[in-house]
Amino acid sequence: MALTCGRIAAQPTGDAAGVQFRAVDIYVDSKQQPLAAYQLEFSVTNAASAAKIVGIEGGETPAYSEPPFYDPQAMQHERVVIAAFSTNAVSNLPTGKTRVATIHLQTARAVESEFELKLEAAADSNGNRIPAEPSVEERKTK
């Protein structure tokens, strides 16, 4: 089970009471192997940032363009498990580092968010587990 920890630097705002929205892109790197299914847990681990999950959308490739499966109870909380699979032909499955989802966070304060990403499953088109590395990047606002 791959584990990633990290921080998102939230830009300070002029208004201490302001609410901010941040988008966090979730990647899975399956190296050379086509990624047919994944499941991972994302959580915000520092209460100080008051970051809450407010939205989840799909990724960049056709295989994962639809929003993943997730528990709606995760909305407005700090933890979510997302998962998706694709029955596309192998040639139409992504390899390498793929953005599989984007998680939208609402933060009430301008402090760094700390989070944990745990890859619980990654599989090829036959359902066989494959090694993969999860990672997360904050989407830059325009």
Distances (CA, A) of 135 to 9, 15, 18, 33, 61: 16, 31, 28, 17, 16
Q: How far is the CB of 15 from other proteins (least distance, A)?
A: 9
- Of 84, 95, 102, the C-alpha closest to 139 is 102
| Residues 6 or more apart whose Cβ sits within 8 Å of residue 28 | 35, 38, 40, 97, 98, 100, 119, 122, 132, 133, 134
CB nearer to other proteins: give 123 or 136.
Answer: 123
CB nearer to other proteins: give 53 or 136.
Answer: 53
CB nearer to other proteins: give 97 or 104.
Answer: 104
Binding-site ranges for other proteins (CB under 8 A): 5, 7, 16-17, 19, 36-39, 43-50, 53-57, 67-85, 87, 104, 108-109, 111, 114, 120-121, 123, 127, 129
CB nearer to other proteins: give 37 or 136.
Answer: 37
Q: How far is the CB of 40 from other proteins (least distance, A)?
A: 10
